[in-house]
A and B are shown apart, each in its own frame.
Chain A
C-alpha cells in the first residue's frame, strides 16, 4: 500500500517523529517497498536485452543513476554505459542469497522513494527524477547521515555500484594498473583431483626464476 508524501504533515517535528516511529519499529528499509504513489515520476532507463535477474526496471534505473554520479565522464576512462554498470550490479546481486537481494531491493526502493526522500531531506521527487547535483546532495546526505542505518545503506549501495564498474579490466589503464604480468598464468596447468592420476610435479613447486 502506498502513502502519498503530500498527505503527510510537513513540519520538521512530524517528519522526525515519523522517522523515529519507523526506526523503532524496525521498518526503515521496509519503506523502500512502498507502492507506486511514493515512486511516481521516477525516470526509467532501457533494460538491456539480457534482462534483469534480481532488480526491477525501476531499481535498475536507480542503480544507473547512482553509477552516473559515482563515476563521472573522464578522459581515458570508459563510460558507465560502456561498462554496463547497473547490469553488472544485477549480476553481482544474483550470486548473493535471497535475504541479501531483498535488502538491496529495499535499499534501492528507499533511495527512490519520494516518502523516504521527504522524511530524510524534505524532497518528494524520486531520486531518478532529480538532476545530477541534487542526486549528489542526496548521496552525501546518506553518507554523512546521523542515522547509522543510512550510512550503512550508502556503504552497501556504493560498494555494489563501484564493484559493477571497477570489476572490469577495461578500467585498468585509467588507473595505471597492468594486471598480472604476461606469461605467468597457465590456463592449461594440470588440475589434480586424486584418484589414479599421479600428483603432478609442479603441484606445490614452481620451477621459475625466484628473483623475478
Chain B
C-alpha cells in the first residue's frame, strides 16, 4: 500500500507517528537509506525541513528556486561571510539542485579513512555492489563529449593544450534535454534526483514523507533514542505553524547533511566528547571568469561535463584541487562576480561571452587542517554558527589554482581573464598571470570563496574520543541512533560527494535495519 508525501499543513494539531525507522533528511543519504529500509519491509517515516517541490514549480527562475530549494534562500554562508554555501533544502535535498556530477570515492580516500581514522569494512569491495545498483537506477553514465557545452569546452580544450589530465564527467540523468537548469530543479524530470527516483520508489512501498518538518530534537534515553520531535512549518511562509509532530521509532537515522546533522545532535545534548560539529569540511572553491571571443552562454547545456584532477596531489604540505565548471545565471552572477555600479554592470553585460572555471580544494588532508566547526547560535532558530577559518594553506592553494585556471582559460582563447577579488585582477596575456595574482590580496573577504560540498562534523572512526559515529555509522554509545550522510566523512573527498553518500548510505542500510530490530 502506498504511503504519502505530506506537507506542513497535513496536521491541524499536535500528532504522533509510530514507525520502525525515522529518517531525518531526504537528500542523498536519507533517500538511499530509506528506500533500502523500505525494501527490507521496514516501516519508515522520513522528515524533511524543506518543502516538496516538483517540476510543476521548476520554471527556471533563480529567485524562486533559491528561496524554495536552498538553505537560507541560497545565502547560507560561514559566520564571517567569507564562504558562500550552496546547499539543498527540499524533498530530495542537494540531489534536487546539484549539477549531476557522479564520482565513485577515490580509493586513496577510503584507505586514508581506514589507516588514519580506523574506519573498518568500508572499502571499494564493500561499496562496489552498492555503486553498481545506484548507477543502474539513476542511469549514471559519462556525458558524451559531443554534447559538451561551450562553458565546459574551455576547460577541456585548455587542459588539452597545456597537457593537463582531463576527464569526462558521469551524470545521473535519463533522457536529458541538455538544458542546463539542473541547479534550479530539473524542469523535465530528466535528472535522476531523489525527488523523482528513490523517494517515490519508497513511497510506493509505504513510506511516509513529511515535508516542512523542522526536527528540533532527538528523544534521547539511556543508551537509546526513542524518536524525534519536529515543528511543522507553513509551506508558504516557512514559519512554524505551532503544530508539533512527534515520531516514535525503533531507530533514528540523522541525514541532514554536514551542517544540520551536527546541529541536531548538539540541540539534543549529544556532543560526542566534543567531536560533534568538529572537522567540518567544505571543499572551498575559488573561481576565475574569462571573456571569450565567441558566445559561451554559461547557463546553457549540461552544467558539468569536463573535469581535471591534474592538481589533486600537489606534494607535501599543499592542498590539492580539482577543476570543474559551474553554470552561471544572472542572479548568482550578480552576487558572486565582483564590482559595484557601472563596472559591475559592464561585467554582467558580458555574461553571454563569460566562461567560468572553479577549483575545488581538497580540505582536511594536511595534518594541521582540522577544518571548521558547527555550533549552535540560538537553539530555537534553524540558523547555526558555521565557523570555517581560511588559513594560509588554503590561500596558497587558492592562488595557485587561480593561476592554473587563468592559464587554461587563456590557452583556450580567452580575451581576458578575471579573478573574483573584490577588486578583480584582470589579465590578458599568460605572461602576466604569475605576478598579477602574486600581488593580489589573499585574505578572507577579499576574494570570493564558495562551496557546494559540505562534509564532516559527525566523523566516523574507531575511537569515541576522536569520532562521533563508529564504522557502522552508529553514534558512539547509543545503540539505535545513526548518522547517514556526508557529515560522517572523516576528511573531504577531492571529488563531488553525491555518489560517495549514495554508496555509503546504501551500504549502511544493513546496520540501520539491524539497529531497528
Contacts and interface: CB of A to CB of B under 8 A. Distances in A.
Q: Do the two chains bind?
A: yes
A193 B331 contact: no
A179 B60 contact: yes
A18 to B, nearest CB: 23
A143 B422 contact: yes
Contact of A72 (B67, B345, B423): B345
A1 interface: no
Nearest to B332: A166
A95 B177 contact: no
11 contacts: A96-B75, A99-B377, A166-B335, A175-B348, A175-B349, A184-B60, A192-B200, A194-B3, A204-B196, A210-B175, A210-B176
Interface stretch (A57-65, A119-127, A152-160): A152-160
Contacts of A50: none
Given A99-B378, A195-B2, A205-B175, A171 B200 contact: no
A192 B178 CA distance: 25
A204 B189 CA distance: 5
A186 B58 CA distance: 8
A74 B344 CA distance: 12
Given A74-B345, A152-B445, A202-B189, A163 B335 contact: yes
B462 interface: no
Contact of A203 (B82, B181, B196, B445): B196
A166 B331 contact: yes
Nearest to B341: A72
A162 B340 CA distance: 9
B426 interface: no
B229 interface: no
B383 A99 contact: yes
Contact of B423 (A92, A144, A158, A165): A144
- Residue among B6, B335, B349 with the highest chain A CB neighbour number at 10 A: B335
Contacts of B178: 210-212
A184 B179 contact: yes
B200 A97 contact: no
Interface string A179-212: 1110011111111111110010011111111111
Contacts of B341: 69-72, 136
Nearest to A198: B2
B345 A71 contact: yes
Given A166-B335, A171-B330, A206-B190, A193 B422 contact: no
A48 interface: no
Given A148-B445, A202-B189, A194 B204 contact: yes
Contacts of B200: 192, 194, 199, 203-204
B465 interface: no
A151 B446 contact: yes
Contacts of B344: 70
A176 B349 contact: yes
Nearest to A150: B445
Contacts of A23: none
Interface in B34-60: 52, 54-60
A208 B188 contact: yes
A155 B181 CA distance: 26
A69 B445 contact: no
Highest count of chain B CB atoms <10 Å: which of A100, A166, A191, A196: A166
Contacts of B463: none
B299 interface: yes
A77 interface: yes
Contacts of B383: 96-97, 99-100
A155 B187 contact: no
Nearest to B328: A177
Contact of B382 (A97, A167, A193): A97
Contacts of B120: none
A36 interface: no
B390 to A, nearest CB: 10
Contacts of B329: 177
Nearest to A149: B80
B444 interface: yes
Given A99-B381, A192-B200, A204-B200, A139 B340 contact: yes
B342 interface: yes
A66 B386 CA distance: 27
B197 interface: yes
B342 A95 contact: no
A204 B192 contact: yes
B61 to A, nearest CB: 7
A172 B330 contact: yes
B56 A188 contact: yes
A203 B423 contact: no
Interface string B1-33: 011111000000000000000000000000000
A159 B52 CA distance: 27
A174 interface: yes
Given A175-B330, A206-B188, A96 B348 contact: no
A51 interface: no
Given A159-B75, A196-B2, A152 B81 contact: yes
Given A151-B446, A169-B61, A206-B189, A95 B73 contact: yes
Interface in B316-347: 329-331, 333-335, 340-342, 344-345
A56 interface: no
A99 B334 CA distance: 25
Contacts of A207: 175
B73 A92 contact: yes
Contact of B299 (A177, A189, A204): A177
A98 interface: yes
Contacts of A140: 340
Contact of B2 (A69, A97, A194, A211): A194
Contact of A189 (B3, B54, B349, B446): B54
